[in-house]
Every structure is written in structure tokens, then in C-alpha cells.
Amino acid sequence: MGEFGLIRHLTEDIKTQQASTHKGVGDDCAVISANNSETLVTTDLLLEGIHFDLTYVPLKHLGYKAASVNISDIYAMNGTPTQMVVSLGISKRFSVEDMEQLYDGIKLACRNHGVDIVGGDTTSSLTGLTISITCIGMADKEDIVYRSGAKDTDLVCVSGDLGAAYMGLQLLEREKAVFNQQGNKDKEVQAQPDFQGKEYLLERQLKPEARGDIIKKLKEAGVKPTAMIDVSDGLSSELLHICHESHCGCSVYEERIPIDYQTGIQAEQFGISAVTCALNGGEDYELLFTVSLKDYEKISQIEGVHIIGRIQKEELGALLVTRDGAEYPLQAQGWQHL
């Protein structure tokens, strides 16, 4: 059934009871009416051994990433993040200093995006570190962008570049495997990881940035996306979410998918396709969105935004168009939570 199938199965019969609940389960955030604006709410749960490996993830980076991925969900609704609630499950092996490092990362991300940490909870854990973060944001009702607004002939756009975070993860996993193979060798003679020239890939994995700058540029250009989502589970998965919610299809062009030079080089060294990394790697936390065709001139002028395809009628399907013009159905092969 998978994560999303299970979620739909468990929540499809839920009916909202409060007039203030404008949007419940099914998008990047819940939407709660509050006076003249809407409240956006999103939450994320991170478990040691499932979502992160402390063998190679520094606690400060982990805190920064945990906060950033929630802030990213608010931006994916075209909202402004405002508050955050942080809850931790901590095992005995962590010291106060460890938790200070974790919180240093959380606080840094919050300062960068003007978010207030307003509460949370802390408890003991028998299974390692658990992080639960809820981020709250605000948006005017007419500004909110859902996944369900894409229309036939809309342009498909994405910010930044894709696949780098996945390549960073592969580098870290490779070095962990080398370390484990060395076993109990003298620490003085153990090989040290060599990441020279690969700093960008590691930063994309360990310290992703929520793209509030893109939201600002879109507003300055007078462009409101018709649908939007952040790229957490891979480009294919996110495109299929938009197509499912908007009852449409899409064509995405392989040659237009933005891939950083370092990502391409590293993918070649690993013997895998850089396009496959971009489509299925995930954790880039870039913004994937659609805009009306009439906004082509405006969107093409925005630095850091790439037009990668178009929305089409649902019966035409969701397709990847290769460099030689062949068409293949998009498949969600990214991260599966269950």
C-alpha cells in the first residue's frame, strides 16, 4: 500500500467539523482560517536509523535540516513561516552538549527565516534520537497555492538543481562502508574520507536550504503558481502528486532537468544516471511548481528557476521525454516511508 496509500486509506472518510478548518489532510500543510489570513500547519517526524545516521551526520547539521524541511513545506504553500514547535525523544547516550548542538542548528535555521520557536516537548527514548517538529505559517487566503491547481498548458518549473542531495548521501554511505570494513584497525592508520571538490554535494545532503528566496522572487515578479510542492521524495514522485491532485498529466523534458556539474561527475563515477538521481533521489527541497502559460516571459526572467515541461490533459499521462524524443511514463521510485 505504501505511505501515501495508507494515509489515504486512513483519512479518506474524515470530515472536518470546525468551520475554521479550511484544508485538512492531503497537502503540504493544513490550512486553518484566522481572521483575514489563513494559518498553515505542517509537521515532520525524524527517527534515528530511519531518517538520519549519526555516524556521519553532525548534530548541528541535523538540527538545521530538521527545521528547514518543515519551513520548506510552508513555502510550498506560498506562505510565510512564523512559529515552530520542537519535540525530542532523547536516549541516555546523548549529553547536554549534544542537545545544544542540535538546537544550535534548529535556531540557526529559524533565525534565517524569521521563525519563532514557541514550544515543544522532551522525553526519554529507548531507541535513539527522535525529532518531531511542527511549523506554523500564515498566508492571505488568495495567496495560498495547493497541489490541485495545475491546468492544461501550464508550464512546469523547478528551482535550483536536482540530484545533488542524493549524490551527497551516496558519498557519505560509501565512506561509512569503508570505515566499517576497517573494523578495529589502529585509528592512526585508518583512511580518512576525502571529500575535496565534493563540498557542494555534502552541503545539499546535510544542510538543505528552504527556498524562501524563490517565493520572494515570484511575488516580486507578480507570478502566482497554479500548483506547488517541495521536492522531498524525488521529482517524479512530486510531479505525480501534482498530477493526481490536479487531475492532469504532464510532459517533462530530460534535457531541461537542472543538474549541477558536480552531481553529473559523481553520478558518472558511481556508474548511475544523473537524470535518475534527479528524478528519484529526493531531499533536494527545491520548489516544483506550475505557472500559467501567460506568465512565460516573467518566469523566464527569474534567476534560479527552470522551465522543465508542461501540464497536459489527464488522459495523455505523466511522461518523461528523453533527449531523442522517446516518451516513458513517470514512475515514483523515490523514498518510500513505509
Whole-number Å distance between alpha carbons of 295 and 313: 20
pLDDT at 333: 76
Q: Which tens digit of pLDDT belongs to each residue from 248-271?
A: 999 999 999 999 999 999 999 999
Domain ranges of the chain: 20-143, 155-169+201-329
Cα–Cα distance list, 165 to 151, 156, 274 (Å): 30, 21, 12
Question: Could you give the angle at the alpha carbon of 110 between the alpha carbons of 45 and 237, nearest 5°?
Answer: 45
- Please tell me the predicted confidence (pLDDT) of residue 203: 96
Q: Assign 18 to helix, strand or coil.
A: coil
Residue 163 has pLDDT above 70, yes or no: yes
pLDDT at position 196, please? 78
- Same fold: 20-143 with 155-169+201-329: no
pLDDT at position 28 = 79
Torsion of CA 215, 216, 220, 222, to 10 degrees: 20
The residue with greater pLDDT, 171 or 32, is 171
What is the model's pLDDT at position 184? 52
Among 21-25, 62-66, 230-234, 334-338, the minimum mean pLDDT is found in: 334-338
> 20-143 domain in CATH 3.30.470.20?
no
Residue 18 CB coordination number (10 Å): 9
Q: Is residue 336 predicted with pLDDT exceeding 70?
A: no
Average pLDDT, the chain: 90
Bridge partners for 40 per DSSP: 31, 137
User: Per residue in 81-138, pLDDT tens?
Assistant: 988 899 999 999 998 899 989 999 999 999 999 998 888 888 889 989 999 999 999 9
Q: Where are the alpha helices (DSSP H) in the chain?
A: 2-11, 59-75, 96-113, 164-182, 199-206, 212-221, 235-246, 261-270, 274-280, 296-300
Mean pLDDT, rounded, for 141-150: 96
pLDDT at 17: 60
Q: What is the pLDDT of residue 35?
A: 73
More confident residue, 17 or 248: 248
Structure confidence at residue 332 as a pLDDT band (50, 70, 90)? confident
| pLDDT over threshold 90, residue 15 | no
CATH classification code of 155-169+201-329: 3.90.650.10
pLDDT tens per residue across span 165-217:
999 999 999 988 887 777 655 555 555 677 778 999 999 999 999 999 999 99
* Distance separating the N- and C-terminal Cα atoms of the chain: 9
